[in-house]
């Protein structure tokens, strides 16, 4: 595993110091330390670390709240560090988007696998979201083209194939996407015959 930039958050300065020493010994760089959930969120947004390791219980906003915000904003993967391993805490951590879990007192040999699992799962999550977004865009394009072809068939009494050819030719000649051309055709049809 290559060197990662790590944000650590724990209200116990001794634990932060121990965690920093282990992380640096593993070859990683600790780019920020926080003693509260809000500070962890602020630092994560500014520093954009490779991974965040957060304690569950911190003053002024829990690590779970910080984990949820960091995960929701897709800043980095979150590893939760906690003294609590009961099912409700694990369920809440899962809902918060935590990708790995370490129970205190953690062993040095547990830290690296947790970081690797969290970063791998985060990459997979981003890849899946990218695929979902691309598929959504593709579906929207197909729908817009189908609507535009229907407008052209109706307006110019041409075949479906000819309508498709005209849309593609306009996209190429204008340097705009096929979806943009299709949406413009549909918009002009809506303007010409407003919906009631």
The predicted structure's pLDDT at residue 196: 56
| CATH number for the domain that contains residue 68 | 3.40.50.2300
Both tokens of residue 53? 């390791």
In a domain, residue 167? The reply is yes
* 127 part of a folded domain: no
Write out pLDDT tens, residues 101-135.
888 877 778 888 889 889 989 888 888 988 888 89
Q: Which two tokens stand for residue 5?
A: 């930039």
Residue 9: its pLDDT value, please? 92
**CATH code of the domain covering residue 171:** 1.10.10.10
Does residue 112 form part of some domain? no
The residue from 106, 121, 150 where one domain ends is 106
129: its two tokens: 């979201």
Tell whether the model's pLDDT for residue 61 goes beyond 70.
no
184 contacts: CB under 8 Å, gap ≥ 6:
none
State how many domains the chain has.
2
**Residue-range definition of the domain harbouring residue 53:** 5-106
pLDDT at 75: 93
pLDDT tens per residue, range 182-195: 888 888 877 766 55
- Split at pLDDT 50, 70, 90, the class of 43 is very high
Residue 174 is assigned to a structural domain of this protein: yes
Q: Cα–Cα distance between 88 and 95 in angstroms, integer?
A: 11
């Amino acid at each position: 595993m290559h060197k990662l930039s790590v944000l650590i958050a724990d209200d116990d300065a001794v634990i932060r110091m121990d965690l920093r020493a282990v992380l640096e010994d593993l070859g990683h760089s600790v780019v920020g330390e926080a003693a509260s959930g809000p500070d962890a969120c602020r630092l994560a947004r500014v520093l954009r670390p490779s991974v965040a390791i957060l304690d569950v219980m911190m003053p002024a906003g829990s690590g779970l709240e910080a984990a949820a915000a960091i995960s929701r904003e897709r800043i980095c993967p979150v590893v939760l560090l906690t003294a609590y391993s009961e099912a409700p805490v694990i369920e809440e951590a899962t809902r918060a988007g935590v990708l790995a879990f370490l129970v205190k007192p953690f062993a040095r040999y547990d830290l690296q696998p947790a970081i690797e699992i969290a970063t791998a799962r985060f990459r997979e999550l981003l890849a899946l979201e990218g695929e979902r977004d691309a598929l959504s865009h593709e579906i929207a394009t197909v729908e817009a083209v189908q609507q535009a072809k229907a407008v052209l068939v109706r307006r110019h009494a041409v075949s479906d194939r000819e309508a498709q050819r005209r849309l593609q030719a306009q996209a190429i000649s204008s340097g705009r996407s096929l979806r943009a051309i299709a949406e413009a055709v549909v918009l002009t049809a809506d303007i010409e015959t407003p919906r009631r």
